[in-house]
Structure 1
Amino acid sequence: MYRERPAGVAGATVWTSTAPDRPAPTRVLPDGCLDLLWSSRAGLLVAGPDRTAFLSTSAPGERWVGLRLPPGVGPAVLGVPAVELRDQRVPLGALWGDRAVAALADRAGSDAEAVLVEVVAGRLRDAGGPDPLGARVAAALAAGATVGATAAEVGLDPRALLRRSRHLFGYGPKTLARILRLRRALALARSGVPLAEVAARTGYADQAHLTRDTRALTGLPPTPLLPPPSPP
């Protein structure tokens, strides 16, 4: 019951989900993103950037619509540093005021996706767009660049990069690099690449290193995070 597609604004992804009659907790893996959410039960929320997997629970039949903002975009939309939202799920009213959010929540009940896209587009327009540093840093780290090389590429010393990264992503560049490397590794593994080869291609010392880092960030080793093998 989960679907996602490009949102058409700021490189964001819109996703929808409806919980079954007997929902089980969903393991949400860290990805460096912030999400603007609407829940049929809880209203408008913000999901901050996670350092480890978050176990999300839903009520039976609860409907969700989310707009996942790429790394570094969230602060321009929400008006607060990402580090203030790290590892948290916060009502949007706590950031913008309950009165301002109440009208949005009423409209979201009939078309949450359109409301979220409209809000994000308007907030980014008012802010002059996201900080371009976020996209540059995230792209370099996602491509496997070291933190030192990334700092040099964007013209910052390591302390300045750490400070700006905490504002944009919610954590420092080393943590973001680990999270983005894990996502590259899982994408390869889900495409059928053996784990030993995945480790070698994504910069881990060996498969054991990949397993340790996956467990540290998600609570599980790699194999349970992969789709089951196809029947013969």
Structure 2
Amino acid sequence: MPIDPYSEPAVGPRHVAIIMDGNGRWAQARGRPRLFGHHAGAKRVREVVDVCPTIGVKYLTIFAFSTENWKRTQVEVAGLMSLFRRYITKETRELHRRGVRVRFIGDRLRLDAKLVGLMGELEDLTKDNPGVQLTIALNYGGRDEVARATKRLAQDVADGKLLPKDVDEETLPRYLDTHVLPDPDLVIRTSGEARISNFLLWQSAYAEYEFIDTLWPDFTAAELTRLCQSYGSRDRRFGAVKT
């Protein structure tokens, strides 16, 4: 049965998406290389995942690496790819033990074969887990996702599987990387930047946003809890007027 993107719990968001920003600045403020901050940020993910069941968050999506991040220095990109491989290898058993279901979204074609293999193994191992649904956006960009989805949709039209007259705003989401997920209720960006950086562009049309000053390595379970409680007090009308 399709997930209703507009259904939500009585209190707090069901799906939280996080733009984990500020690792590099956190490290530089301590006189350390940027990769030191990325390692600190990776450790923070576990605490956030752990608190989700206690505050009613069923779906957590984190922005790990964007299609634009390839513009960073070769040293930083190589270090990040190594970090992703190490993180998956180290965390696989623990994520599975805690019942976390892991998915990856983004274009895997540019990623190295070893990393892609580890991603697939983690997804397969956890596919039946009933706990927090953790989605990791890796080599992901919202515009790229929509472009890839549109190509698949156009191919289905060309193959006669879909009629042009039947294409509407309900059709495209079935071709997105996130087609099995509800839309995010709350999008959080750390580090004080107030922009969405090409993240979940289609899916976040009616999301609530929180732009906070905290750098990602300093983000805590307590802060996530506070933001989710604040979300619960908002009046979400989805364009309608309550009577």
Q: TM-score range with shorter-chain normalisation?
A: under 0.3
Larger helix percent: 1
Higher relative contact order (CA 8 A, sep 6+): 2
User: What TM-score does the superposition give when structure 2 sets the normalisation length?
Assistant: 0.25
User: What TM-score does the superposition give when structure 1 sets the normalisation length?
Assistant: 0.26
